[in-house]
Structure 1
């Protein structure tokens, strides 16, 4: 039995339209699983639309011998159909890939905290872009926070975690996940040197094991609401 007939243009175009909304992808409603599911559906669609045994049988006579009078016309028709099918398929796959990359980029660029206090010279470096820290400067996943000698800086994160940095301190925000409704929580930083006054927010209160501060001498977990940390630079 051959595969069920499917209208290639309508199915492929509907998938492509779903992933390429005129206002850009809706990353709030699209998860990575949704995007990959769409790509999988496109692959299934592509498989179902491949030439079936019925097409091959039309090229031959009843005894299985080639019907050369019809082969040329059939091949031309199939070539045109296959070109349209491949175009729809790869357009859909490309749309899925671009949507996923766009959502990942948007997630990377969304602030996870903001500078609330600053004295002296301090800097926030994100994706190679270094800006002087001021009130309201955004902190992202991957940001490096650095204070100069004599400076201090305070950052408040989305879950109300507060980190206050003393002079000559350097810390990277490696991971930040705050989606309590989905049970997804995490805060991981890496502190190379300096001093830190840490005050727990909702992430540590809801899931203490999800918070960690990496230092040259080891990883520090959070077991309280506040602590002081002094890190000597690695030698």
Structure 2
């Protein structure tokens, strides 16, 4: 019971104003705004991805698509996601050190559970609401809107696939990064900055070699941002 109580206490959000970093909150706000603008533009026309975003500037035929390229490059959702990953690395390396005060093994378990508790409830609510809305609309507009199946809901909740909420791929990266950050937290506790340098080198190597990240390209290409963020508190 004492262990469960410890986990429960650690999974609670600390909302005391004195414990919040206003600079981090500001960066989160800017990154979230960038994501909103980015997806709003692409929601208007997904063709902008090929016609403007990834097209070489000199190959774009008109001023309109050049302006769109400038706009979505300025409000780059990809950059915002990288910022979120770096912030996670920064916050989680500090969180791991607090958890490890309970002991190496026990603290690592608490760290993993705490992080999962921060991610999964929000995913559950988001996926459930979207599925419920489509289910209701399928009755209002039969034949026009198809409700999501139970398998699709389950797959998205387990982060095996993203049939309902495509952007939840970032949460899968966050979840897969938890064990890595737990190990890095132990290395940092035992070896200091050398542990973080090892993590940085590993993330650089995995960037070009996904096999180091269990052949999951999204994790191998994102791990470097977690490692750079983990260096910030030092």
Scaled by the length of structure 2, the TM-score of the pair is: 0.28
Q: Which has the higher helix share?
A: 2
Scaled by the length of structure 1, the TM-score of the pair is: 0.28
Greater C-alpha radius of gyration: 1
Q: Which protein has greater RCO, CA pairs closer than 8 Å, 6+ apart?
A: 2
Q: Which has the higher strand share?
A: 1
